[in-house]
Amino acid sequence: MKLVIAIIQPHKLEDVKKELYQEEVNLLTVSEVLGHGRQKGVTEVYRGIKETGNLLRKIQLEIAVNDNFLERTLKAITKGARTGETGDGKIFVLDLGECVRIRTGETGPEAIG
């Protein structure tokens, strides 16, 4: 079991979701996060003062998958989120120790999908 954490551009969320659904990855958690990127992003201006914007808005996806689903999940996120410019984001893959489905009490790979 793996936990996939992806940080992507907010405006690419819909595209990533579409790619994931096509790969039959239907379970995901989404949160809005701020990140410290290397790129400048879109600068904001408030009453003439430029906001340099070290912290940029990003979307974080968390997806728990069984090992045989990992590759297609990574492919879908990459395909949906890529614009080719700096700031497209990153994907982290972690080993997942355990998973419990609260409703039934199932554990392990059974409980993920």
Partner 1 sequence: MINAGDTAFVLIASAMVLLMTPGLAFFYGGMVRRKNVLGVLMQCFIIMCVLGLQWVLFGYSLSFAPGNAFIGSLDWAGLRGVGLEPYADYAATIPHQAFMIFQAMFAVITPALIIGAFAERMKFSAFLVFTLLWAFFVYDPIAHMVWGTGGLFRNLGVLDFAGGTVVHINAGVAALVTALYLGKRKHFPQAVAPHNLPFTVLGAGLLWFGWFGFNAGSALAANGIAVNAFVVTNTAAAAAGLTWALIDWLHNGKPTMFGTVTGAVAGLVAITPAAGFVGVIPAVLIGVGVSIICFLMVTVVKMKFGYDDSLDAFGVHGIGGIFGALATGLFASKALNPAGADGLFNGNPKLFLIQLGAVLFTLVYSLIATFVILKIVDKLIGVRVNEKDEAIGLDLTQHKETAYTVLE
Residues that bind partner 1 (CB under 8 A): 10-12, 14, 32-34, 42-46, 55, 57, 83
Q: How far is the CB of 86 from partner 1 (least distance, A)?
A: 15
* Residue 16, number of CB atoms within 10 A of its CB: 24
Closer to partner 1 by Cβ: residue 32 or 67: 32
- 98's CB contacts (< 8 A; 6+ apart) are 107, 108
Closer to partner 1 by Cβ: residue 83 or 107: 83
Q: How far is the CB of 81 from partner 1 (least distance, A)?
A: 12
Q: How far is the CB of 59 from partner 1 (least distance, A)?
A: 11
